[in-house]
Amino acid sequence: MYFEKLTYNLQLYVASKVLNLDKNKLHIDGFEITDQMESIAFDYLENHKPLSKIFNCKPFRKHEFYT
């Protein structure tokens, strides 16, 4: 329900973090929405918690910086 309200790029980012897979592979093969993805989307949309706080890292270009 909440996961579907995210933009497609955010859906791929969350799914890649939760499933520990490459975003390009998920884009091609697709993925099933899990309860963990749904709870992350809820925290992001309803509780206004940034994804950098949820995953403890911040993406920048092709790198990720841990916060």
What's the token pair of residue 59?
A: 């993406």
How many domains, the chain? Answer: 1
Residue 62 has pLDDT above 90, yes or no: no
- pTM for this one? 0.87
What's the token pair of residue 12?
A: 């791929």
Given this model, what pLDDT does residue 50 score?
94
- Per-residue pLDDT tens digits for 25-41: 988 888 999 999 999 99
Residue 23 has pLDDT above 90, yes or no: no
Of residues 7 and 59, the one with the higher pLDDT is 7
Show Cβ contacts of residue 40 under 8 Å, excluding neighbours closer than 6 positions: 3, 14, 18, 51, 54
What's the rounded mean pLDDT across residues 40-48?
95
